[in-house]
Amino acid sequence: MDKFTTLTGVAAPLPMVNVDTDMIIPKQFLKTIKRSGLGVNLFDEMRYDRDGNEIADFVLNQPAYREAEILVAGDNFGCGSSREHAPWAIKDFGIRCVIAPSFADIFYNNCFKNGILPIALPQEEVDKLMDDAERGANAVITVDLETQTITGPDGGTIHFEVDPFKKHCLLNGLDDIGLTMEHAAKIDAFEANLSAQRPWG
């Protein structure tokens, strides 16, 4: 998993509440078990019409936000079913940080396991960042996980909270497999000892 330390990028505004995982990645794209290739279908039903043409006024189709790496969204982001494809699609599009007043618990935890930093902030602070994000290509925000700060285009700074264990995992690029492999030496020693005690096994 990619490490997350400091991210400086364009922030896209999505001022919608209750954005569920089916809106993030519709059910017809859940057949794959690959984490790549889903970015093109992120927010598919909002990005494209029935003929597959881009809907010009959807934020991620606008030239200023096509390379957005941060998403500023409304309350209860990621609600609905627990599909892990939702963070996969967000990451594959290129978004590494989602900022909102609140998140659905399963989606929130899945983000950390896939190298995405979800940041929950009070509504008034999200509103300020939403205003910043509406500046188009000038909506450049810096997110520093080590110092737990967000710096806006005008230099203003917002502090955010994050669970220390989840922070450690993101800073070091550790998903569940990576966490297990941190104990590889102990696992190898245990298996060697077990083989010596039970050679018939």
Domain assignment of residue 60, yes or no: yes
Average pLDDT for 92-101: 98
Domain assignment of residue 129, yes or no: yes
Q: What is the pTM of this model?
A: 0.88
Candidates 137, 125, 168; CA nearest to 68 is: 137
27: Cβ contacts below 8 Å, ≥ 6 apart: none
C-alpha span between 86 and 83 (Å, rounded): 6
pLDDT of residue 33: 75
Q: What is the pLDDT of residues 37-62, one digit of tens each?
A: 999 999 999 999 999 999 999 999 99
Q: How many structural domains comprise the chain?
A: 1
Q: Which domain holds residue 131?
A: 6-197
Domain assignment of residue 1, yes or no: no
Domain assignment of residue 77, yes or no: yes
Answer with the residue of higher pLDDT: 69 or 1: 69
Candidates 36, 113, 119; CA nearest to 77 is: 119
Judged by average pLDDT, the poorest of 6-10, 34-38, 90-94, 115-119 is 34-38
Domain assignment of residue 143, yes or no: yes
User: Which domain CATH number covers 119?
Assistant: 3.20.19.10
What is the rounded radius of gyration, in angstroms, for the C-alpha atoms of the chain? 19
Answer with the residue of higher pLDDT: 197 or 73: 73
- Of the chain, the percentage scoring pLDDT greater than 70 comes to 89
pLDDT of residue 185: 67
Domain assignment of residue 27, yes or no: yes
C-alpha span between 125 and 14 (Å, rounded): 15
C-alpha span between 20 and 177 (Å, rounded): 27
Domain assignment of residue 155, yes or no: yes
User: What number of residues does the chain have?
Assistant: 201
Question: Residue 61 CA to chain centroid, in angstroms?
Answer: 19
pLDDT of residue 156: 94
